[in-house]
């Protein structure tokens, strides 16, 4: 089994953690910000130093390609260099730097592959500066309209288009990732499961489907002191009852179902006024669409009227479960086995570029454990040893894929 250069990977992770470093050793590297551009320039310089060809597409997504012996579609590996505000120094960048390490290891060990290897850095995965998340991969996979994306505006009133124009990384549409033999994205888990179970590597078989509803209770506003309790139409107490009811029913559905009431607004939100309306979101995720359907049925069967208040609901959005390519998952699982690293097959609860890319390229993901499950915070941490094991798995998975006749594996 081949191994990566663990020390070099650590040095590169440390180097990139300086681009946008925050006081508590996290990073703020918003998409196409000065810090992100610093990281991009360094990444480009390192790739060109290795003799790779670096191109960018019309969304500034970067591609660095090591040619293969044959003219075949690339095996693509990578992730994103941008971060949220006060994010961690592993989210995204680990996928790009392990990909770089894989290419360096292939060169160090004089492994000549038939397939070209392309390292990708997707622009604006986080959506922290310009909404939505996974913007560039969404455009690539036709989920998002590029013209609309260009108008997305940050808090300072700057559009994505303006940031793109002055970034120095805007390339042409013809450089877009159109076809590839496979895509593998290595990422931190961003959850506690691997650490909890004591596994080193997650073989990610897909991304959970989700649904988000907004539910409202409509009552009547009135004076908090003069209106007798039995003459009220109090939307807050009606909401409290509905939430308890929802929890009782959702709990019984399936152990793997997750559900969150993440936003709640009371109107008029004044302590001397009975609330005439309360609105909250219920977001739920599960890999099985039948279970998501059951969640929707529970919402649809809520009483229309409760405690003299009217109930209404609206579906805000949903996304289907994405199932990654079985063959690519298998290659990752085999690499773990051969390397003697313990692996756990799992689904991702969080969204990633791979879920969009999977719509037209055979894709899968590798997770490494997140300490305490923390992410999107400055103390996000994965041991360098675990990062390096992830890189070893990525290297061997790529080598294995390069031996296959990927023409058959391709969708």
Where does this chain bind Zn ion (CB under 5 A)? 91-92
How far is it, in rounded angstroms, from Cα 359 to Cα 325?
Answer: 10
- Closer of 92 and 275 to Zn ion (Cβ): 92
- Closer of 325 and 352 to Zn ion (Cβ): 352
CB 117 within 8 A of CB 70: no
Q: Which position's Cβ is nearest Zn ion?
A: 92
Closest approach, Cβ 193 to Zn ion, in A, equals: 17
How many CB atoms are located within 10 Å of the residue 147 CB? Answer: 9
Closest approach, Cβ 125 to Zn ion, in A, equals: 6
Closest approach, Cβ 374 to Zn ion, in A, equals: 13
- Closer of 67 and 373 to Zn ion (Cβ): 373
Closest approach, Cβ 124 to Zn ion, in A, equals: 11
Closest approach, Cβ 215 to Zn ion, in A, equals: 30
How far is it, in rounded angstroms, from Cα 224 to Cα 274?
Answer: 6
Helix spans in 127-225 (H)? 135-140, 146-150, 160-167, 193-197
Q: Which residues, in sequence order, are CB contacts of 367 under 8 Å at separation 6+?
A: 186, 187, 188, 189, 194, 201, 202, 203, 204, 346, 348, 390
How far is it, in rounded angstroms, from Cα 253 to Cα 295?
Answer: 8
- Closer of 37 and 134 to Zn ion (Cβ): 134
Closest approach, Cβ 80 to Zn ion, in A, equals: 6
CB 238 within 8 A of CB 348: no
Looking only at Cα atoms, what is the longest distance across the chain? 84
- Closer of 81 and 163 to Zn ion (Cβ): 81
Place of tokens 């360094």: 42
Phi and psi at residue 14, to the nearest 5°: -65, -40
Closest approach, Cβ 256 to Zn ion, in A, equals: 22
CB 239 within 8 A of CB 279: no
- Closer of 35 and 234 to Zn ion (Cβ): 35
- Closer of 279 and 348 to Zn ion (Cβ): 348
How far is it, in rounded angstroms, from Cα 184 to Cα 181?
Answer: 10
């Amino acid at each position: 089994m081949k191994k990566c250069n663990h020390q070099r990977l650590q040095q590169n992770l440390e180097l990139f953690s300086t681009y946008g470093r925050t006081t508590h050793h996290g990073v703020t590297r918003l998409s196409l910000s000065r810090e992100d551009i610093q990281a991009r320039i360094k990444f480009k310089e390192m790739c060109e130093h290795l003799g790779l060809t670096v191109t960018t597409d019309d969304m500034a997504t970067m591609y660095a390609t090591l040619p293969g012996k044959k003219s075949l579609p690339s095996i693509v590996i990578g992730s994103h260099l941008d971060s949220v505000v006060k994010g961690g120094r592993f989210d995204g960048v680990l996928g790009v730097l392990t990909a770089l390490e894989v290419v360096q290891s292939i060169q160090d060990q004089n492994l000549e592959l038939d397939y070209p290897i392309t390292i990708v850095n997707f622009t604006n995965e986080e959506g922290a500066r310009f909404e939505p998340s996974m913007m560039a991969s969404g455009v690539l996979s036709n989920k998002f309209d590029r013209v609309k994306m260009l108008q997305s505006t940050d808090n300072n009133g700057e559009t994505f288009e303006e940031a793109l124009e002055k970034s120095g990384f805007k390339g042409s549409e013809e450089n877009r990732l159109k076809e590839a033999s496979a895509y593998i994205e290595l990422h931190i888990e961003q959850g506690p499961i691997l650490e909890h179970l004591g596994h080193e590597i997650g073989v990610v078989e897909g991304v959970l489907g989700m649904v988000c509803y907004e539910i409202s209770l409509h009552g009547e506003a009135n004076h908090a002191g003069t209106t007798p309790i039995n003459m009220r139409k109090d939307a807050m107490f009606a909401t409290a009852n509905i939430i308890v009811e929802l929890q009782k029913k959702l709990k019984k559905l399936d152990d793997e179902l997750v559900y969150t009431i993440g936003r709640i607004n009371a109107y008029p939100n004044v302590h001397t006024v009975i609330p005439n309306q309360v609105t909250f979101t219920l977001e739920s995720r599960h890999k099985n669409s039948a279970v998501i359907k059951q969640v929707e049925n529970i919402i649809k069967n809520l009483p229309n009227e409760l405690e003299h208040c009217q109930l209404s609901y609206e579906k805000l959005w949903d996304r289907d479960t994405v199932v990654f390519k079985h063959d690519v998952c298998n290659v990752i699982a085999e690499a773990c086995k051969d390397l003697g690293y313990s692996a756990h097959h799992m689904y991702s609860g969080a969204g990633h570029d791979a879920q969009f890319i999977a719509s037209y390229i055979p894709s899968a993901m590798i997770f490494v454990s997140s300490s305490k499950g923390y992410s999107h915070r400055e103390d996000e941490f994965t041991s360098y040893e675990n990062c390096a094991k992830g890189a070893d798995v990525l290297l061997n998975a790529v080598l294995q894929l390069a031996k296959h006749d990927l023409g058959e594996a391709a969708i």
